[in-house]
Structure 1
Amino acid sequence: MSPFLSLEGKRALIISGTRGAGKATVSLFRQLGARILTTARTKTSDISDEEFLAADLTTLKGCADLVDAVRTRLGGVDVIVHMLGGFIVARRRLRCTGRRALARGNRSQPDACHSPRSRIGAGDG
């Protein structure tokens, strides 16, 4: 009998996967056979170094580091699960361009990029 759902061979980026629902998502995707990369500001002991990138995605550098890690570690991405929440996401509409992150709204907040998909591209090597 085949499993109801399989992610065997899929490459998954799980943003903010070290606590709560993000941590549960990492665990589920592992069980379903996905190769995962997760990111947060700090690493927990249950995530391997290869599966984790310490990055602050409220900064352009953190976003650029994430794009590089997806390309080098996974060779692209098939599935993105965006678990990041909090003030910045709730307060502003964000978009990411190839050159810089643009934030609409409160200009006193740092620029942020919460949509690396536009620069990663599924299957990019």
Structure 2
Amino acid sequence: MDQDSEQRAPMGAFEVQQRLGLSKKRADILMSRPDFPTPLASLSRGRVWAAADIEEWIRVHRPHLATEAAITAERKEAPPLDHEGREAALAEAIQVRLAPAMQNGNLTVEEISQLAARVAVEVLVDEV
């Protein structure tokens, strides 16, 4: 699926939860906030949002996740890393992704821990 199709695609609550990397309970809290995008529809199975609206909200309210998506896409096109390359990539990923999150001060300790764990897993297991 190309990037334009992904931006037009609908996202249900589960996809939003996965994209944010949060527990169901924490995602439900965020999705209930007044600044969260208005759903396109409320269906019998739940609410549905436009992916572009969710990505814009992430860009404004969780910029580290927007950066994370860009880095992940870039890394998929990169050649495999050796051990030293993995260590350097992990250090860079932590610096790039966690520094803005820490500066914003709008993340819980749990969210920062989850992000750090995801960064480590993505960088160190990406080549397996």
Length-normalised TM-score, structure 1 = 0.27
Higher helix proportion, which one? 2
Higher strand proportion, which one? 1
Length-normalised TM-score, structure 2 = 0.27
| Higher RCO structure, 1 or 2 (CA under 8 Å, sep 6+) | 1
Larger Rg: 2
